[in-house]
Amino acid sequence: MEETPASDTPAAVGGSADRIRPLESIERRVLGVLIEKAKTTPDAYPLSLNALVTGCNQKSNRAPVMTLDEEQVMRAIHSLRTSGAVAEVFGSGKIPRYRHLAYDWLGVGKEELAIIGELLLRGEQSEGDLRGRASRMDAIPDLTSLRSHLDRLADRGLVVWLSPPGRGRMLTHGLLPDEKLEKVRREVGAAAAVAAAKPAAPRSGAADDSELIAELRGRIAELEAEVAELRSRLE
């Protein structure tokens, strides 16, 4: 069963600021998978090492797709445990399993953790795409609700805006190392410059409704994620 925010503890209000640190790529993937599986497949959570490796190498809802082995994942688990973001448990069996401690580590609520988890799994993305994808973990009814969560996360440095307010605004999480964050900023800026240089195409009335398009794209992403999850369970 998924852990819930310990709202009556100091960590749930502000997080363990002394322990929050930038994460390397495999650490980001491992923590993102633990957050995702806790919310989407609670009956199979906490995860065994084998299940965690499978989740890290999953082809759906991942960017980039990775091919990790048990040794690489174990190294990431060890470093995350040292930082207080992950714990090892045994339960009723002898096989060790792993769960995240991200609610206390980051000091966030349910919807905010879904947002962080999705950003850890996919990296930078637009507000519209993020809303649909994060909603498969915890419901975020509309962009207004999403933005209220994002504003709080941004105030604490857990979300970083990559482009100015407006249609298709881009963002990422704040757990990237400085050099990686700067690379992402350059890539997003370059992509925006290329898009701005293209001749404007004729636009229909439907195309003008950018929020509706973003909602539809998010819903498609959510349905794709549900189908992928069902396939994973069948396998």
Q: pLDDT, tens digit, for every residue of 16-46? A: 545 899 999 999 999 999 999 999 999 999 9
Q: What is the pLDDT of residue 219?
A: 63
Taking 80 as the threshold, does the pLDDT of residue 208 lie above it?
A: no
Say which residue, 140 or 191, is predicted with more confidence.
140
Q: What is the pLDDT of residue 189?
A: 87
Taking 80 as the threshold, does the pLDDT of residue 10 lie above it?
A: no
Other C-beta atoms lying within 10 Å of the C-beta of residue 102: 26
Domain 10-106 -> CATH class: mainly alpha
- The DSSP bridge partners found for residue 171 are 125, 161
Question: What are the backbone dihedrals phi and psi of residue 67, each rounded to the nearest 5 degrees, phi first?
Answer: -125, 90
pTM of the model: 0.80
- Tell me which of 10-19, 53-62, 144-153 is least confident: 10-19
Radius of gyration from C-alpha coordinates of the chain: 18
- Listed by start position, the domains of the chain span 10-106, 123-230
Q: Give the angle subtended at the CA of 217 by the CAs of 160 and 37, to the nearest 5°.
A: 65
Q: What is the pLDDT of residues 84-143, one digit of tens each?
A: 999 999 877 789 999 999 999 999 999 999 999 999 999 999 999 999 999 999 999 999
Q: What is the pLDDT of residue 92?
A: 72
Say which residue, 221 or 97, is predicted with more confidence.
97
In whole angstroms, give the CA distance from residue 164 to residue 179.
21
Contacts of 4 (CB under 8 A, 6+ apart): 103, 110
Confidence of residue 230 (pLDDT cuts 50, 70, 90): low
Taking 90 as the threshold, does the pLDDT of residue 172 lie above it?
A: yes
In whole angstroms, give the CA distance from residue 53 to residue 74.
9
Taking 70 as the threshold, does the pLDDT of residue 212 lie above it?
A: no
Taking 50 as the threshold, does the pLDDT of residue 9 lie above it?
A: no
Taking 60 as the threshold, does the pLDDT of residue 8 lie above it?
A: no
